[in-house]
Homo-oligomer: A and B are copies of this chain.
Amino acid sequence: MVEKRADARRNQATLLEVAAAAFVESGVNVPVRDIAARAGVGVGTIYRHFPTRADLIVAVYHHQIEACAAAGPALLAGSATPHAALAEWIGLFVDFLVTKHGLAGAFHSDDAAFQKLHSYFLDRLLPVCADLLAAAAAAGEIRPDVGALELMRGVGNLCIGDGDDSRYDARRMVGFLIAGLRT
């Protein structure tokens, strides 16, 4: 057995599309039952393809996360200074997070189910961030003791709630944070 049944493959594809649409309309915390109903399947079908909510979220945003990871080295190679590359890359990350209502919150949830989401983000993006930080530190543009993990968590945290209140702008706050890294 190597090939999945045709209906299974079709359902998985449908679920990814429907989930993506539901996330856009109702945020990543949309109830699993709603997604199932919209896709015309039972909740069991969702859980067979995606063992937890986190797996579904990871699957939906897989391409965008990979694109973000890939953008790091490209920016480093193409920007005027490492610090500019870092700022641009963080900007991409922030854009990604704030356009997914509730994702930043889920990212930092202490719920065990979201551990996988957390791990995936970190696995893919932490090395990229670390390289950018190292380059900027080597160029003497930022203090040398800034860790990639703390920066990513801080940035992710600052994105929580963006969009809920027009008086709060995560991009602005992240900008201040990055500015505060300078030597």
Residues of A at under 8 Å CB distance from B?
102, 105, 108, 110, 146-147, 149-150, 153-154, 157-158, 160-161, 164-165, 167-169, 172-173, 175-181
A157 to chain B, nearest CB (A): 5
Residue of B102, B161, B172, B180 touching A175 (CB-CB under 8 A): B180
A156 to chain B, nearest CB (A): 9
Residues A168 and B180 in contact, CB atoms below 8 Å apart: no
Residues B177 and A176 in contact, CB atoms below 8 Å apart: yes
Residues A150 and B167 in contact, CB atoms below 8 Å apart: yes
A141 to chain B, nearest CB (A): 14
Residue of B110, B150, B180 touching A179 (CB-CB under 8 A): B180
A155 to chain B, nearest CB (A): 9
Ordered by A's residue number, 20 sampled pairs between the chains whose C-beta atoms are within 8 Å are: A108-B161, A110-B161, A110-B164, A149-B165, A149-B167, A149-B168, A150-B172, A153-B168, A153-B173, A154-B168, A157-B157, A157-B158, A157-B161, A158-B158, A160-B160, A173-B177, A175-B180, A176-B180, A178-B180, A180-B181
Residues in B neighbouring A158, C-beta threshold 8 A: 154, 157-158
A163 to chain B, nearest CB (A): 10
Question: Bound state CA distance, A180 and B151, in angstroms?
Answer: 14
